[in-house]
Structure 1
Amino acid sequence: MFSEKNYLMIGNTRWHWASKRKKDWKYFHTSPNPIEFKDKDYSQLTWASVGSVPENIKLCPSNKINLDDVPLINLPPYLGIDRALASWSAYKKQSSFTSKEQGLIVIDAGTIMSVTKITKKGVFAGGQLISGLRLQLSSMANGSLNLENPVIKTIPIETFQHETKNAMIKGAINGLLGLIIKLLEETKLPIWMCGGDAPIILNELKKTNIDINYCPNLVLEGMIDIDQKINSI
Structure 2
Amino acid sequence: MSSHNQVGTWVRRGSLAAGIAFTATAEYELARRLGAKPPIAVMLPLALDCYVIAALRWFRAFDIFLSLALMCAAQVAAHALEAGVIKVSLDLVTVVSLLVPISLWRTHALARQTPRDATPPATVPPVQLPSTDFPEGSKSPEPVILERTDEQDADGTPELPPGTQQDALPPIGDTPSEPVLITSSDVAARAGVDPSTVRSWVANGRLTVQGKTDRGRNLFDPVELDQLLGVQS
More strand as a share of residues? 1
More helix as a share of residues? 2
RCO higher in structure (CA 8 A, sep ≥6): 1
Larger Rg: 2
